[in-house]
Structure 1
């Protein structure tokens, strides 16, 4: 059966094309516009910021996309805008903005006006092909680098990604770079529209050795390094395992950008004290893995589960002899899906979010959850795979 005329096509297309909830060009454009607006807002309040920003603008007067995508720029601007919304911006906050703009300006002078300020240095120019026509920068360790942005990135990785857990950011080998390319290619071959839509939210990719007790680290991203996903070598060894993990992590990146361009929750800062969703498939609770989730965590899991139902269905119906020859078959002892019974869990979480959300959900947020439930409902899951 052709990938382009099977029963999954309408669902995949919907998950990749809704103008507010899934269309990557529209969502990433809105996110870039938010950060441009944030800089304009800060320029109105600081002559120094205005002067530094003027040196970053391109010939049309716009802030380049490479700058608005940069994870360190985004975090700095997010924090500054958050402080402004609370009615103040301290001298320290202004210093952070000014310092970041100076570092970005220096990086653009060194690497060129269209280079990713952080990515150009920390990757040493290496790239990963995350979908046809799109690359993400491939993190290295910045070994021997004295560039301030490289040091800031590495410090942020240690503080906010590892958070005291033993681990290292690795310099990817040529074989690891090839495995990354192969895994992303497998995702694009299986789900061409959804793969491209998710890949659009990848800015950077890293390889990590994280040594956790009692569990195997697979992959992860963190809000203070937005758009960058760190993969464990053990998850890169088989293309279909990696494809699912890349989809999973990319969906987290997509949801972040969706929430950047439109409000799903009325007051995100109060969700920690708000209603919780009981997670019946987690029998035990711990500090690391609670079995009651705040609405934002439940939304992130719901968003991933719903899409992985499509991934599993595509793996059953679209795995042609050509794809098996190119990427191999799923490992029998390790089914590609990390989430059995995904359809049931997605339905449960979506309904719980709607029923418990109350005033915590905006009208837009309620529409988003309802749309995702309805869009993925036609996909049936085979729990024996």
Structure 2
């Protein structure tokens, strides 16, 4: 008889089996090969790098990773790729300074070698911890500036790095041990894509940050607020969450998942629209979190004695926590969000994905589905409750327009960005409906006009696509909108 534990183990293995999205050694090999090839091209335009590039080419992949996955080096490498594509790669370039320094810093990474104290966590692929001490070293200052760019650049945002200590090291080691015990394949694979961990205390848009991925400004780095994460189960879940972002960042360097990245979609647990890219990345995380929670629910007595019973910890339940407060509505659990995103990405939103993106969604869905049924029960098949969107839309002030009925178009001129926009009949209709109505009001009026020619679902999609385009063109602006939390 197949038990839920058997199904969890099968799903854990399935989530590292896909050659493009799950197999970490293959993904990392592609990333490292991309950087090696990039250096060959960069050296042709930056001759000062020739000797350094030759030396790096002689390194094995493990040594090369210490260079390529350093946050500052990787930032400079990605800038060089961008400069190469736009024809702007020329000396002086940040790569000319940091790449020789990174080679000289081996066997440490460049940024790690500048830390005021040396802290490592994890066993298989140890992660180094950022230090927060003030320093005059230019590389340490560059790391601090990158952090400030992530957590201090927007209004209402603030953050500070915290210095690691022995207690933080112990808690992180416990959480990593817990994660890799529960998910010895997918958990270990995700962690391999992380080079560094930074401890922080931060707020973004009025909400406390529990964890974050480094993104473009601080590559290879994840951020954790372990003071606000009350127990090893939640710390482990947040590490998995952010490590999965790092893994998918690496996978999508060579494979495009989204065909129309500019498109946005609506999810029922947020009152503002998401990009389709965010929906894909979120689905990847929620599938793994659902599996992590299923594994936590089936944890044996040895783990419970070692790390405590999750229900015994007093903490604020949230979407990535193991425990869920009784009676919490609709979409507060990862399994609820997973099912919604999987269904939508497989059907209504599938046209926004590439063939590889649709394969990605099928793989995630097929990997989790047996666990989803066995542990969480059958999914509710009825449509999700509609989200009340309070955003209203109006034409941007100061526009000038001239209609061409014979040409079946409207020309709109924006003095702020002096150019003429040509609106076809559909965009013209949406433009005229943008007179202060909310989205539901616009939908009703739009359906009255076009409902006889296309079905309601397609009409709503056309309206939202056209409205998003008008907003991006600054011809229409939202007048009332809620903030967004991650």
Alpha-carbon distance between aligned partners in 1 of 2:333 and 2:268, rounded to the nearest angstrom:
13
Structure 1 residues 279, 61: CA separation in 2 closer, same or farther (over 3 Å shift)?
closer
Structure 1 residues 213, 71: CA separation in 2 closer, same or farther (over 3 Å shift)?
closer
Query: Cα distance, 1:15 vs. partner?
Result: 0.8
Query: Cα distance, 1:376 vs. partner?
Result: 1.0
Whose relative contact order is higher, 1 or 2, with alpha carbons under 8 Å and at least 6 apart? 1
- 4+ residue segments displaced more than 6 Å: 2-5, 60-63
Matched, 1:134 2:125: yes
Matched, 1:252 2:251: no
Alpha-carbon distance between aligned partners in 1 of 2:228 and 2:367, rounded to the nearest angstrom:
29
Alpha-carbon distance between aligned partners in 2 of 1:40 and 1:90, rounded to the nearest angstrom:
13
Paired residues of 1:142 and 1:150 also in contact (CA < 8 A) = no
Superposition CA RMSD, Å: 2.8
Alpha-carbon distance between aligned partners in 1 of 2:134 and 2:158, rounded to the nearest angstrom:
19
Counterpart of 1:287 in structure 2 is none
SS of the residue 1:169 aligns to: strand
Map 1:164-203; keep pairs closer than 5 Å. Answer: 164=154, 165-203=157-195
Alpha-carbon distance between aligned partners in 1 of 2:366 and 2:38, rounded to the nearest angstrom:
35
Alignment equivalent of 2:268, drawn from 280, 296, 302: 280
Paired residues of 1:277 and 1:294 also in contact (CA < 8 A) = yes
Query: Cα distance, 1:67 vs. partner?
Result: 1.0
Counting helix residues as a fraction of each chain, which structure ranks higher?
1
Query: Cα distance, 1:364 vs. partner?
Result: 1.5
Counterpart of 1:100 in structure 2 is 95
Larger Rg computed on CA atoms: 2
Query: Cα distance, 1:180 vs. partner?
Result: 0.9
Structure 1 length-normalised TM: 0.84
Counterpart of 1:315 in structure 2 is 296
Paired residues of 1:57 and 1:63 also in contact (CA < 8 A) = no
Range that drifts further, 52-61 or 68-77: 52-61
Counterpart of 1:264 in structure 2 is 257
Instruction: Summarize deviations over 1:39-84 as a string: whole Å, max 9, x none.
Output: 1121233322324423544467997221111222222222222233
Query: Cα distance, 1:306 vs. partner?
Result: 1.0
* Count of matched residue pairs: 360
Counterpart of 2:311 in structure 1 is 331
Structure 2 unmatched runs, 5+ = 325-330, 378-486
Structure 2 length-normalised TM: 0.68
Alpha-carbon distance between aligned partners in 2 of 1:262 and 1:187, rounded to the nearest angstrom:
27
Structure 1 unmatched runs, 5+ = 285-290
SS of the residue 2:197 aligns to: strand
Paired residues of 2:52 and 2:99 also in contact (CA < 8 A) = no
Paired residues of 1:52 and 1:101 also in contact (CA < 8 A) = no
Map 1:288-299; keep pairs closer than 5 Å. Answer: 291-299=272-280
Alpha-carbon distance between aligned partners in 1 of 2:367 and 2:203, rounded to the nearest angstrom:
38
Paired residues of 1:277 and 1:353 also in contact (CA < 8 A) = no
